[in-house]
Chains A and B, each alone.
Chain A
Amino acid sequence: MNVMINGSAREVADGMTVAQAVRTLTAATTGVAVAVNDEVVMRSAWETTALSDRDRVEVLTAVQGG
Chain B
Amino acid sequence: MDDLIIAGEKFSSRLIMGTGGAPSLEVLDQALAASGTELTTVAMRRLDPGARGSVLDVLRKRDIKVLPNTAGCFTAGEAVLTARLAREALGTNWVKLEVIADERTLLPDPIETFDAAERLVADGFVVLPYIGDDPALARRLEQAGCAAVMPLGAPIGSGLGIRNPHNIELIVEAAAVPVILDAGIGTASDAALAMELGCDAVLLATAVTRAQRPDLMAAAMKSAVVAGRLARQAGRIPRRRYAEASSPMTP
Report A's interface with B, CB cutoff 8 A. Answer: 6-7, 25-26, 31-35, 38, 40, 42-43, 58-66
Q: How far is the CA of A33 from the CA of B87 in the complex (A)?
A: 8
Interface size on B, residues (CB 8 A): 37
CB neighbours (8 Å) of A6 from chain B are 46-47
| Interface pair B81/A65, CB less than 8 Å apart | no
CB neighbours (8 Å) of B43 from chain A are 62-66
| Interface pair A63/B81, CB less than 8 Å apart | no
Residue in A closest to B49 when the chains form the complex, CB atoms? A25
| Interface pair A58/B89, CB less than 8 Å apart | no
Q: How far is the CA of A54 from the CA of B140 in the complex (A)?
A: 41
Residue in B closest to A43 when the chains form the complex, CB atoms? B88
| Interface pair A63/B88, CB less than 8 Å apart | no
Q: Tally of A-B residue pairs with Cβ under 8 A?
A: 96
| Interface pair A66/B56, CB less than 8 Å apart | no
Q: Which of B45-94 contact A (CB under 8 A)?
A: 45-47, 49, 51, 54-56, 66-69, 71, 77, 81-82, 84-90
Q: How far is the CA of A5 from the CA of B243 in the complex (A)?
A: 70
| Interface pair A63/B45, CB less than 8 Å apart | yes
| Interface pair B49/A63, CB less than 8 Å apart | no
Looking at the complex, which of B17-25, B131-139, B217-225 is the stretch in contact with chain A? B17-25
B42 on interface, CB distance cutoff 8 Å: yes
CB neighbours (8 Å) of A59 from chain B are 46-47
B205 on interface, CB distance cutoff 8 Å: yes
CB neighbours (8 Å) of B67 from chain A are 66
B41 on interface, CB distance cutoff 8 Å: yes
